[in-house]
A and B are shown apart, each in its own frame.
Chain A
Amino acid sequence: MNEDQLIALEGALDDEGLLFTRDDDEDAFRIAFKSEGDRYFIVSYRDDPNFVMIGSGWALPTEIELADANDVANALNVRKKFVKTAVWEDERDVLFTVELCVTSTDEVRPHFGRLLDVLRDTAVEFFEELR
């Protein structure tokens, strides 16, 4: 499937007044953007056009214990709508992602602001809990 699945989300970013760049390759369609200085990405795979992921990745400060980070991530996964929080232990990164199954990304466009809010809020809560 080579149709660009992310065109509708470019529109969503326009709606939000956000700038973005495209970084497609042979496997995936990708958008990178920032909001209030924080970096986000959107990915959709060419061989799985019904899957779309919006996310952000953050480095874990060295003073944070991985076990504590995992506990907080688990608590957020229990409580939060839409967002999956995952600690990537090898890299000491934490990923916040919204993963959706859609017929078309047009379905996501009207809800994009809400999804971005919940991604942002989850990251803030994660680091506040660990402070």
Chain B
Amino acid sequence: MPPLVRDTIAKFIENEGHRVDVSPLDEEGGITEILFRTRGQVFSITTYENNPAIYTISTAYEVPEWARESRQNADILRQVELDHPDVRFVLAHDGALFVATSEEEPGSPEAFTRAFWDTVGRVREAGSHCVERILDRSESKAAADKFISSFMKGER
């Protein structure tokens, strides 16, 4: 009997030096979430025993409270998706965070582990790009608001 997909992936991540937290999401369906941390960021891998060819990899980023303008941020997520077409972004918790997700179809657990850190890096890069864009836009808007406010007061 071949090893469970979740065990193969969890063991790989552990062998690479990282603690893992393995949580079955759907025992009957053979769906499992594996959590691990790297470079200060928690990543979630979803494995499917019924289909060892596909995997989901996700990570969440907190949006600073002062930058939580949901409509604008939703627009930014859509724009960044154009630059990173293999990563999807979803706002969650009333805009307090967004989740970056990549659905991978490497074909086998071995193929998934071969490209594992590249995939993690790709999702991280896309997520960081999003954070930068959200912060840039919020800071620009804050600066513009400050300028307009000063102008209206006749200080400029």
Contact = CB atoms under 8 A, between A and B. Distances in A.
A22 B114 CA distance: 28
A38 B40 CA distance: 16
A113 B38 CA distance: 9
Contact of A37 (B17, B19, B36, B40): B17
B19 A17 contact: yes
Contacts of A35: 16-18, 38
Main secondary structure of the interface of A (DSSP, over half): mixed
Given A34-B16, A36-B117, A36-B120, 20 more contacts: A16-B37, A16-B40, A17-B37, A17-B38, A17-B42, A18-B18, A18-B19, A19-B14, A19-B17, A19-B18, A19-B19, A33-B17, A35-B16, A35-B17, A35-B38, A36-B17, A37-B15, A37-B17, A113-B39, A116-B39
Contacts of A16: 37-38, 40
Interface residues of A, number: 13
Interface string B19-55: 1000000000000000011111010000000000000
25 contacts: A16-B37, A16-B38, A17-B36, A17-B38, A17-B42, A18-B17, A18-B18, A18-B19, A18-B37, A19-B14, A19-B19, A33-B17, A34-B15, A34-B17, A35-B16, A35-B17, A35-B18, A35-B38, A36-B117, A36-B120, A37-B15, A37-B16, A38-B17, A113-B39, A117-B39
Given A17-B19, A18-B19, A36 B38 contact: yes
Interface in A35-59: 35-38
A116 to B, nearest CB: 8
Contacts of A19: 14, 17-19
Nearest to A32: B17
Contacts of B117: 36-37
Contacts of B38: 16-17, 35-36
A113 B37 CA distance: 12
Interface of B is mostly: mixed
Contacts of B14: 19
Contacts of A18: 17-19, 37
A43 B16 CA distance: 21
Nearest to A17: B37
Contacts of B37: 16-18
A88 to B, nearest CB: 24
B62 to A, nearest CB: 16
Nearest first, the 10 closest Cβ-Cβ pairs linking A and B are A34-B17, A17-B37, A37-B16, A17-B19, A113-B40, A36-B117, A35-B17, A18-B17, A19-B17, A17-B18
